[in-house]
């Protein structure tokens, strides 16, 4: 499932991905609602992932604090550092994923925008195989109420993902087609 969805994502082409990223960013802001003084954790786009930079700009303009994840170590939850608009990003870790500077303040997010390879319409996702977001969401949700929204292209959808005991469900899914809620949030739904 993962390789098929990622092949569909790659086949979109740069221009289509850029346009879809802009549309998804507008849907994400609407789905999140009032973000003033909330901390929203994004991910820096890696390879041909959906571009989160347009969403970062919208969130900052709406009064949110924006954070990025940091991989601390294998089998450990992520930590999050504040990412201000003028902060340069630098590749870090084994995957060379762009992150905030090491001296950026650590924060605990209120909302997480989660990367993924594949999703379905009941809140299941397949990531990239290391389990970082499942561990992180489990820890955060044991401490406070945290919302988690998948952000990807519509072509990454599949009919059904077999759930595993460690899988943390999403509260909603955002694509260029709209927002699909998996729990009592009010927003536009993806077409069926």
Rounded to a whole number of angstroms, the CA Rg of the chain reads 15
**Pairing outcome for strands 39-41 and 111-114:** parallel
Tracing tokens 């041909």 back to the chain, one arrives at 48
76-88 per-residue burial string, b: 16 or more CB within 10 A, e: under 16: ebbebbbbeeeee
| Mean pLDDT in residue range 46-53 | 93
> Residues marked as binding for ATP?
125-133
Averaged pLDDT score across all residues of the chain = 90
**Residue 162 placed within a domain:** yes
Separation CA 79–CA 18 (nearest Å): 28
pLDDT at 166: 82
pLDDT at 188: 38
CATH number of the domain within which 88 lies: 3.40.50.10420
Confidence of residue 152 (pLDDT cuts 50, 70, 90): very high
| Mean pLDDT in residue range 56-66 | 98
**Residue 17 placed within a domain:** yes
> Residues marked as binding?
49, 125-133
Q: Give me the domain span that covers residue 44.
A: 2-181
**Residue 61 placed within a domain:** yes
Q: Which residue, 110, 174, 118, is CA-closest to 147? A: 110
> Residues marked as binding for substrate?
49
pLDDT at 186: 33
**Residue 139 placed within a domain:** yes
**Residue 190 placed within a domain:** no
**Residue 191 placed within a domain:** no
In tens, the pLDDT along 84-94 reads 998 989 888 76
Confidence of residue 11 (pLDDT cuts 50, 70, 90): very high
| Mean pLDDT in residue range 142-162 | 95
The structure's pTM equals: 0.91
Residues 59 and 66 sit within 8 Å (Cβ to Cβ): yes
Among the ranges given (107-116, 139-148, 161-170), the one the predictor scored with the smallest mean pLDDT: 161-170
Angle at 128 between CA 112 and CA 89, to 5 degrees: 60
In tens, the pLDDT along 153-163 reads 999 999 999 87
DSSP three-state, residue 140: helix
Domain count, the chain: 1
Residues 160 and 9 sit within 8 Å (Cβ to Cβ): no
**Residue 192 placed within a domain:** no
Among the ranges given (46-50, 148-152, 186-190), the one the predictor scored with the smallest mean pLDDT: 186-190
**Residue 186 placed within a domain:** no
């Amino acid at each position: 499932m993962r390789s098929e969805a990622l092949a569909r994502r790659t086949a979109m082409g740069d221009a289509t991905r850029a346009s879809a990223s802009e549309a998804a960013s507008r849907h994400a802001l609407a789905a999140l609602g009032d973000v003033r003084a909330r901390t929203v954790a994004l991910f820096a786009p890696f390879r041909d992932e959906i571009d989160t930079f347009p969403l970062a700009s919208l969130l900052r303009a709406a009064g949110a604090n924006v954070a990025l994840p940091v991989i601390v170590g294998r089998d450990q939850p992520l930590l999050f550092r504040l990412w201000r608009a003028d902060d340069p990003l630098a590749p870090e870790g084994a995957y060379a994923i762009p992150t905030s500077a090491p001296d950026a303040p650590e924060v605990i997010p209120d909302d997480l925008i989660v990367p993924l390879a594949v999703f379905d319409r009941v809140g299941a996702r397949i990531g990239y195989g290391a389990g970082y977001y499942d561990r992180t969401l489990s820890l955060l949700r044991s401490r406070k109420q945290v919302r988690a929204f998948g952000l990807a292209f519509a072509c990454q959808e599949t009919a059904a993902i077999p759930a595993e005991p460690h899988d943390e469900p999403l509260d909603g899914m955002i694509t260029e087609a709209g927002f699909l809620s998996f729990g009592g949030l009010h927003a536009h739904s993806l077409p069926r």
